[in-house]
Amino acid sequence: MSRFLPEEGTSALEELKEKYPTASDEQVGTWAKFYGYANASSFINRFFKMTGIRRSRQSRTDEPPEIKSEMVNLPPIKLREYKARKARRGDEETQILHTGDGHAGKITRSYNSDVYKARMEAMFDHLLTITNLHRNMYPINKLRIIDTGDKVQGENPFQGSKAGEIEMGVRDQIVKLALPMWIELIGSLKQNFAEVTVDFFPGNHGHDRLAPETSSWDIALADLIRAKLDSHKGITINVHERFGDIIYIEGFRFFCFHGDGILCQQGVPFFSLDKSLKSWYMQYGGFNYALGGHFHKAHSDEISSKLWYSMVSTLVSDDEWALKKLKISSNPSQWTYGIHPRYGITWTYRLQVDDKFLPEKLDK
């Protein structure tokens, strides 16, 4: 049949106008077929253009169906209120957890999704061990998590994501691995601290060079974490869109960045890193500390009496990229620091996330 509705002024069209607003989906489908339309949506669109009449909201069929996913619909987070313990002596300090280069979804001889989950859990356990040891001396009620990027591996074949080097696509890297683990990590830490503040910075994985800076899987993942947790009392999620930024902790200025723009010379990034930090120090009006990552090698040093920096390692082991670039096999670890409101960073610990990489004692 031809696709024509009854002409204006006819009784057939007036009858349609009267019945249409409350018509059922089945009735609309019958009309669409009768008047020769491919489907109900085509009939609805044409009828609205001709008459300006819409159906009541409960009976409309031109709205997309609700999409549900078991992976996205994470269970609600129930957080118990943390009660600070009294310490006998010492000034209160804030604890920092410096994470980075988790590369969820990457595969090596000793790294896959199960290992990623186990090392995230080990990081949590070792962090609280340090926390509780220091709480015997002074209060620690605030935790600041600083992630310097590359939370997922991504899909870019030019960044080590060729077939056989990733376990799943980037959507699953986020939804099946990184998102649930980060939500569990932050929620669990909130049970042990009065305040948990997280600062997420983007890395270079999951970002195409020709795309806008905000087209980053790190930023997308951080946005999802913020949407899930930021409404909970005592949890603050900060998503930084630039390659680096200044944040304040106990009044001290921290410059946080990923580090992919720093070049290697003779297999090491330290000469370029030193020069870059000095330039950024001038550009940003000075800062006390700098935290970065990217090179999958734990390293810290003083640039001057006024500037100390720390580069985080990675959760990945047997990493071909690090072996080719730096000629080393990454020892999976993350950092934690304590910061005093007057003295700045007072202690640092390297959190080993896999006991298989603990140092071995050599025979005499």
Helix (H, G, I), strand (E, B) or coil at 310: strand
pLDDT of residue 252: 97
Mean pLDDT of 26-35: 82
Helix (H, G, I), strand (E, B) or coil at 132: helix
pLDDT by residue (tens digit) across 81-138? 777 766 557 899 999 999 999 999 999 999 999 999 999 999 999 999 999 999 999 9
Q: Domain 93-355: give its CATH architecture.
A: 4-Layer Sandwich (3.60)
- Weakest-pLDDT range from 48-52, 195-199, 279-283: 48-52
Rounded CA separation 8/12 (Å):
9
Q: What percent of the chain has pLDDT over 90?
A: 54
Query: Closest by alpha carbon to 132, among 148, 118, 121, 143?
Result: 143
For the chain, what are the domain ranges? 11-59, 93-355
pLDDT by residue (tens digit) across 255-278? 999 998 887 776 678 888 999 999
Rounded CA separation 18/5 (Å):
15
For residue 196, what are the contacts with CB-CB under 8 A and spacing of at least 6? 142, 143, 145, 186, 189, 190, 234, 235, 236
